[in-house]
Amino acid sequence: MYARYFGLRELPFGITPDTDYYFAHARQQEALNMLLAAIRMGEGFLKVTGEVGTGKTLLCRKFLAVLAADERFATAYIPNPYLEPLALIEAIAAELSLPVIQGQGQHALLTSLTQHLVSSYAAGRRVVLCLDEAQAMPTETLESLRLISNLETEKCKLIQIVLFGQPELDERLQERSVRQLRQRIAFSYRLAPLSLSDTDDYLRHRLHVAGYDGPTLFNKSAVRILFRASNGVPRLANILAHKALMAAYGEGSVLVRGHHMRLACADTESVHRQRSWWDVVLWGRR
């Protein structure tokens, strides 16, 4: 592959959420600061939404990593909460290393969970539960999540819950059946795509993390085309940057130019579906 050719330790534009590559541009940092401040204030329910590929899962993992370094917090992470209410409680219990007995009913599980939360609180630790892809949760499970959030002392929540989801989560929360849950969300944030300048910085950041220390690798034309084609969505930007590097490598070029990025766009189905596709193909200089 092209890693050695460009002086990289590893491929810089993978699409797996890797906190080593976390890029703290303004919107991501605002979201992370909001989450950390709200959790430290003891707020019960928080929500982060964003379109597919805007970095919700990476933000979630970065948030969990920050909390893991703080002895005052214990965390639980549910990556796919498309579960029935009992299955969700079992998943939470497993994440908190509680024994889950086959055939154990919901009441017994909740009793065990409550005892654990009380013990954690007495030991000076707050429990934070993060649920990714929360828009997929069944309505009954959303309601059970509200009931779990009822576990509290007179002054403090015993468990704090953060929902990460696509914009459809906001639509789900407008349903009358979950209005009580909606009213409990104290803080929320909507992730936005990268700007053009963010995109340039984003590419440089990932290259640097991957070990690159040479001159500018993507010229201005390539960055503009990538930004237009990806609409500033990091996941799609990663795919296009990776393919453009392959094209430059195949040509023996040490600089990724506009025509390399147009080749990457031509090979990427997600770009074809955009109405501005022909503008992207024809736009930009080498």
Asked whether residue 80 falls in the same domain as residue 218, the answer is no
pLDDT for 273: 64
Asked whether residue 185 falls in the same domain as residue 213, the answer is no
Asked whether residue 58 falls in the same domain as residue 137, the answer is yes
Asked whether residue 199 falls in the same domain as residue 219, the answer is yes
Asked whether residue 253 falls in the same domain as residue 205, the answer is yes
**b/e sequence 217-230, b meaning 16+ C-beta within 10 Å:** bbbebbbbbbbbbb
Q: Please give the tally of structural domains in the chain.
A: 2
pLDDT by residue, tens only, the chain of 286 residues: 899 999 999 999 999 999 999 999 988 999 999 999 999 999 889 999 999 999 999 999 999 999 999 999 999 999 999 999 999 999 999 999 998 877 788 888 999 999 999 999 999 999 999 999 999 999 999 988 988 888 887 778 899 999 999 999 999 999 999 999 999 999 999 999 999 999 999 999 999 999 999 999 999 999 999 999 999 999 999 999 999 999 999 999 999 999 999 999 999 988 866 655 445 455 544 4
C-alpha dihedral sign at 63, 64, 67, 72: positive
Domain boundary among 168, 190, 212: 190
Residue 96's alpha-carbon distances to 43, 130, 242, in angstroms, are 20, 12, 38
pTM of the model: 0.91
Q: How many distinct helices (H) and strands (E) make up the chain?
A: 13, 5
**9 found inside a domain:** no
Looking at residue 57, its amino acid is T
Asked whether residue 64 falls in the same domain as residue 105, the answer is yes
Q: Which range of residues forms the domain containing residue 106?
A: 26-190
pLDDT tens digits for range 214-229: 999 999 999 999 999 9
CA distance 80 to 130: 10
Domain boundary among 190, 218, 240: 190
- Which residue reads 């059946």 in tokens? 177
Asked whether residue 222 falls in the same domain as residue 181, the answer is no
Asked whether residue 57 falls in the same domain as residue 104, the answer is yes
Token readout for 15 is: 């699409």
Asked whether residue 186 falls in the same domain as residue 205, the answer is no
Ramachandran class of 103: left when φ > 0, alpha when ψ lies in -120 to 50, beta otherwise? left
Assign residue 105 the CATH number of its domain: 3.40.50.300
Assign residue 217 the CATH number of its domain: 1.10.8.60
pLDDT tens digits for range 26-63: 889 999 999 999 999 998 899 999 999 999 999 999 99
**36 found inside a domain:** yes
Asked whether residue 216 falls in the same domain as residue 166, the answer is no
